[in-house]
């Protein structure tokens, strides 16, 4: 029996100069840490669902990534969080969008999956649900970093909305997919979205089928990139559908979703995907994608370019 855990910390026009201020090490260590946390669960025979939640919590707590602490700021200088999680065994799913003041939105999404009769809760309602479930509410200050403020100021000057990695500071949306020892798949994605987003904008990350998908019959997928394009392509589901309905291999399905569908819309991004046999693929068409791979019995691998 084999287990696999893949994580990502976002995709974008990343180049070495852009990440030199912090050093590549900082990002690679962040990915390694998430692999370790999730890997411990898989090693003990834990579920893929627990694993992806744990890995994403670790990435949300790390301020270098655009999720949880350190999320990018909206046009109004606020933090609005999107997250989703899906279990491949029964296709149960939970998600939140526009959630504020909760440190780990992925755990609220997990609670939506487990404790509510719904799939997606938004903004104030999502916060009320989180409160009712006993999640601690933190102040806005918890999320803010100086870099995010500078990033927003720059975006406001040019009136641009941008993907985290296409700005000067390189952090990113986070995600994880896993295959556990029982052969079950799961996927999770969490993000602060796009810098300078307005009007309650919601990206692909909290949308099941767009940013996140898990189905034991095909694969588990977490996406990152220009959310609007991933919504229009239903990218995460597209990978699964190409396998389940089209008989495609995981690699061909992942490549088609990024290099055909997303590219046809002139957008950039990437995804991480694993299937039930433990095949995995991490395609992207951007300058880089922060990513890590852990396979039972092998050394973990982390890459940016
Ligand atoms: N896909 C995310 C969004 O559009 C952004 C990202 O992946 O960095 O909200």
What tens digit of pLDDT does each residue of 62-116 get? 999 999 998 999 999 999 999 999 999 999 999 999 999 999 999 999 999 999 9
Alpha-carbon distance values, 35 to 52, 101, 293, 305 (Å): 10, 26, 7, 18
Protein residue whose Cα sits closest to atom 7 of ligand 1: 224
| Number of domains comprising the chain | 1
Q: Quick one: pLDDT at residue 166?
A: 61
Judge whether 254 and 273 are in contact, CB under 8 Å: yes
pLDDT-derived band at 290, boundaries 50, 70, 90: very high
Q: Quick one: pLDDT at residue 165?
A: 60
* CATH number of the domain where residue 47 is located: 3.60.20.30
Is the CB of residue 286 below 6 angstroms from any atom belonging to ligand 1?
Answer: no
Protein residue whose Cα sits closest to atom 8 of ligand 1: 173
Catalytic, 139? Answer no
Judge whether 106 and 83 are in contact, CB under 8 Å: yes
Q: pTM score, two decimals? A: 0.94
Is the CB of residue 212 below 6 angstroms from any atom belonging to ligand 1?
Answer: no
Helix H or strand E encompassing 190? strand 185-191
CA of 10 to the centre of ligand 1 (A): 8
Looking at residue 137, the DSSP 8-state letter turns out to be: B
Q: Quick one: pLDDT at residue 155?
A: 85
CA of 8 to the centre of ligand 1 (A): 12
Q: Range of 80's domain?
A: 4-303
Relative to the CA of 164, which ligand 1 atom is closest? 8
Length of the chain: 305
For residue 278, the SS3 value is coil
Q: Quick one: pLDDT at residue 170?
A: 40
């Amino acid at each position: 029996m084999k287990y696999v855990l893949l994580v990502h910390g976002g995709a974008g026009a990343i180049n070495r100069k852009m990440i030199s201020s912090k050093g590549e090490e900082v990002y690679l260590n962040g990915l390694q840490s998430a692999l370790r946390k999730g890997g411990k669960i898989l090693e003990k025979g834990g579920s893929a669902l627990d694993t992806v939640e744990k890995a994403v919590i670790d990435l949300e707590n790390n301020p270098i990534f655009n999720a949880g602490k350190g999320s990018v700021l909206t046009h109004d200088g606020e933090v609005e969080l999107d997250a989703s999680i899906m279990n491949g065994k029964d296709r149960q799913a939970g998600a939140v969008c526009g959630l504020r003041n909760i440190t780990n939105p992925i755990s609220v999404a997990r609670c939506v999956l487990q404790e509510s009769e719904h799939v997606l809760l938004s903004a104030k309602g999502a916060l009320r649900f989180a409160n009712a479930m006993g999640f601690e509410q933190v102040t806005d200050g918890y999320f803010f970093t100086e870099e995010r403020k500078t990033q927003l100021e720059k975006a406001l000057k040019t009136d641009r909305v941008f993907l985290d990695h296409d700005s000067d500071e390189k952090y990113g949306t986070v995600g994880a997919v896993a295959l556990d020892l029982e052969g079950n798949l799961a996927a999770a994605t969490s993000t602060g979205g796009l810098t300078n987003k307005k009007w309650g904008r919601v990206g692909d990350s909290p949308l099941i089928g767009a940013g996140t998908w898990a189905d034991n019959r095909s694969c588990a997928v977490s996406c990152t990139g220009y959310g609007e394009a991933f919504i229009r392509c239903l990218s995460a589901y597209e990978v699964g559908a190409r396998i389940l309905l089209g008989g495609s291999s995981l690699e061909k399905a992942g490549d088609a979703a990024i290099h055909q569908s997303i590219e046809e819309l002139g957008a950039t991004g990437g995804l991480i995907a694993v299937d039930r046999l433990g095949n995995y693929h991490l395609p992207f068409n951007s300058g880089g994608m922060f990513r890590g791979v852990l396979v039972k019995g092998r050394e973990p691998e982390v890459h940016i370019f």
